[in-house]
Amino acid sequence: MSGTIVIENIQGHDVSEDMIVEAAELFSSNYGIWGPFAEERMGTFGRFCKPGRPVKMSKNRLREQSLAPGTDSVLVRATVDGKLAGHAFATFWEHEGHKIGWITQLCVGQNFRRNGLATKILSHLRENKHDHSFGILSSHPATIRAALRAFGHGIEQVDLSGIKALIPAIMKSSPVPYVKMATPTGSLFDQGDQTGAVCCADTAFWVDHAEPLAALNVIKEDGIKWPFGDLPDGCEFLAFSTTTHDAEDLMDPRVM
Ligand SMILES: CC(C)(COP(=O)(O)OP(=O)(O)OC[C@H]1O[C@@H](n2cnc3c(N)ncnc32)[C@H](O)[C@@H]1OP(=O)(O)O)[C@@H](O)C(=O)NCCC(=O)NCCS
């Protein structure tokens, strides 16, 4: 990728109307498409979720979801030669004395992908937040890989054993409604789970899984171990990294 990359961190209350409009446009043109069950399962929103149509986000919905009033939230923007190329939103809170950061959205424009930009954005977000544990939900394995690289030691060194005990209570304590309402799912949380999922959450987000599953096949073809299991419809992969300090405190090993 040629061009000058600038990455900036903007506190929620300083995010301007123009920035949120740009972010909503980037998302709406680049995120992905609705899956086959979206229309019937999304209730009253179903009429906006026709299978195969782009998943779109209005600026108001984006503010409501990712920069909700009263939350400690942040936008990290990456521009290439002045043009918005990717962004992440994150919300921070404390749970039983532990500092948590949750990525509520990560999106990189199609022309800028596979150049390490998502990883750079998340690494920038982590600066000055080394005392925080970070979580993310995503149907896209590349998002999970970027988070594992930025917050931990990469996909090669994932150890999910600590998540089982930690994550349900942390998610329940989140000020972000969709994180709070998501249900951790997969064999890590329920030994009787038959879906093939290992570490996912049911978020009732009926996005199409063709692109994420193609990315997962690339990972498997490359011989990389994928510990999160399969991705049932309506679910997202769940990654969480603890700080060394938190891990000791909570008697759980580092997750990644
Ligand atoms: C997922 C997304 C953010 C990745 O952005 P990106 O800038 O291309 O990611 P990076 O270049 O930093 O790559 C991150 C990791 O994923 C891998 N990767 C990236 N794209 C991949 C793909 N299509 N298939 C397989 N692996 C991929 C990279 O090799 C890298 O892995 P590593 O660090 O373990 O070697 C981007 O594709 C996107 O915006 N997708 C649609 C939106 C979405 O699903 N967002 C997540 C919802 S929260």
User: Rounded to the nearest whole angstrom, what is the distance from the C-alpha of residue 60 to the centroid of ligand 1?
Assistant: 26
Task: Tell me if 254 is assigned to some domain.
Answer: no
**β-strand 98-108 against 132-138: which pairing, if any?**
parallel
Task: Report the pLDDT averaged over residues 73-81.
Answer: 98
Residue with the larger pLDDT of the pair 154 and 79: 79
| Percent with pLDDT over 90 in the chain | 75
Q: Is 106 exposed, middle or buried (0-12, 13-18, 19+ CB in 10 A)?
A: buried
Residue 40 DSSP SS3: helix
For 204, half-sphere exposure in the C-beta direction (CA atoms, 13 angstrom radius) is 14
214 lines ligand 1 (CB under 6 A): no
Domain count along the chain:
1
pLDDT tens-digit map of 93-142:
999 999 999 999 999 999 999 999 999 999 999 998 999 999 999 999 99
Q: Among the atoms of ligand 1, which is closest to the Cα of residue 120? A: 12
3-class DSSP state of 217: helix
Query: How many whole angstroms from 116 Cα to the centroid of ligand 1?
Result: 8
Residue 49 lies in a domain: yes
User: What CATH number should be reported for the domain holding residue 27?
Assistant: 3.40.630.30
Q: Mutate which of 26, 31, 113 to test ligand 1's pocket (most atoms within 8 Å of Cβ)?
A: 113
pLDDT value of residue 249: 53
Do the domain assignments include residue 73?
yes
Which residue segment(s) compose the domain that 179 sits in?
5-249
Output the CA 113–ligand 1 centroid distance in Å.
7
Q: Is residue 238 scored above 80 in pLDDT? A: yes
Residue with the two structure tokens 């570490």: 199
pLDDT digits (tens, 9 = 90+) for 175-209: 999 999 999 999 999 999 999 999 999 998 888 89
In angstroms, what is the span from residue 43 Cα to ligand 1's centroid? 30
Nearest in space to 143 (alpha carbons), one of 210, 236, 55: 236
Q: What average pLDDT does the segment 27-38 reach?
A: 89
Q: Assess if residue 256 is contained within a domain.
A: no
pLDDT computed for residue 252 by the predictor? 43
Does residue 218 sit within a domain? Answer: yes
Sequence letter at residue 143: T
Looking at residue 63, its pLDDT comes to: 96
Does residue 182 lie within any of the structural domains?
yes
> Could you tell me the two tokens for 100?
């948590």
* 102 found inside a domain: yes
Least confident of 145-149, 170-174, 221-225, 247-251: 247-251
Tell whether ligand 1 has an atom less than 6 A from the beta carbon of residue 154.
yes
pLDDT in the model for residue 254: 43
Does 26 map to a domain? yes
Q: Which two three-digit tokens encode residue 184?
A: 């951790």
